[in-house]
Amino acid sequence: MSPAFDGVCFDFGDTLFYSPDGAAVLVEAGVAPAAARELWDRIWRESKTPEALAVKRDLSPLAHRSGWLGLFAQADVYRPGLSTLLYERVMDHTKWIPFPDTEAVLRELDRRQVKVGVVSNVAEDLRPVFAKHGWADLVDGFAHSYEHGVEKPDVRLFLAACASIGTAPSRTLVVGDHPVDGGAVMAGCAVLLLPHTEPGEPHGLARVLDLIG
């Protein structure tokens, strides 16, 4: 039987990779552990709200820094400059951590000769992140919001992702963690939204292999 899809386009953050723990950064800077955890979890939740996304922080490096520093400013009540420290320690994507099942799923898709893309609201090139882990040859194409001038859920970014790997939208599965990834439906793609997973735990990415067939 032929596979159900010719390609899979993954979101990056909280889908294939997760960020370093901002609460740990705050504790190192002298914030009490309970307060650091509460603050960091609140910031991360707020970063995904419609109000925060409306800032369009992933269209340029400048907008990215400004948007995130605006969110991180809540930490400055504990010590001036903590917002900048959080940005430098947490928002460097080369320091982000892959979920435990990321590599195995990417390698299995490669073995099955299924095209793989990364489609992300991001203000910098993600290729060095995958190269750092030795996975450069496991991703066939990238669609970065800052390069195309649009952010998810804009249909154009998903169409660009499909074009980057040479697959028709109707034969492409988009995998993400947030409702903005659902915009791929309007592009003609199928969509799999993964639930929240605690850092370090398998993220359910093997479900992709089941759907591919």
Specify if 166 maps to a domain.
yes
Tell me the pLDDT tens digit for each residue of 159-168.
999 999 999 9
Q: Which domain holds residue 100?
A: 7-17+96-212
3-state secondary structure 121-174: CCCCCCHHHHHHCCCHHHCCEEEEHHHHCCCCCCHHHHHHHHHHHCCCHHHEEE
Residue 126, pLDDT > 90, answer yes
Q: At what angle do helices 82-90 and 61-72 cross, to 10 degrees?
A: 130
For residues 102 and 34, membership in a common domain is answered with no
What's the pLDDT score for residue 154?
Answer: 97
Q: Which of 10, 12, 18, 36 is nearest to 90 (CA)?
A: 18
For residues 111 and 81, membership in a common domain is answered with no
Tell me how many helices (H) and strands (E) the chain has. Answer: 10, 7
Task: Among 69, 90, 111, give the residue marking a domain's end.
Answer: 90
Q: Report how far residue 116's alpha carbon sits from residue 135's, in angstroms, rounded to the nearest whole number.
A: 11
Q: Beta strand pairing status for 97-98 and 115-120?
A: unpaired
What's the pLDDT score for residue 213?
Answer: 84
Tell me the pLDDT tens digit for each residue of 161-193.
999 999 999 999 999 999 999 999 999 999 999
Task: Among 67, 90, 113, give the residue marking a domain's end.
Answer: 90
Per-position b or e across 40-51, b if 16+ CB within 10 A of its CB: beebeeebeeee
Task: Among 70, 90, 110, give the residue marking a domain's end.
Answer: 90
Give the DSSP letter of residue 45.
H
Average pLDDT, the chain: 95
Single-letter code of the amino acid located at 57: R
Residue 1, pLDDT > 90, answer no
Tell me the pLDDT tens digit for each residue of 192-213.
999 989 888 999 999 999 999 8
What's the pLDDT score for residue 2?
Answer: 67
For residues 34 and 118, membership in a common domain is answered with no
How many domains is the chain built from?
A: 2
For residues 117 and 187, membership in a common domain is answered with yes
Tell me the pLDDT tens digit for each residue of 59-90.
999 999 999 999 999 999 999 999 999 999 99
For residues 84 and 106, membership in a common domain is answered with no
Q: Beta strand pairing status for 141-144 and 7-10?
A: unpaired
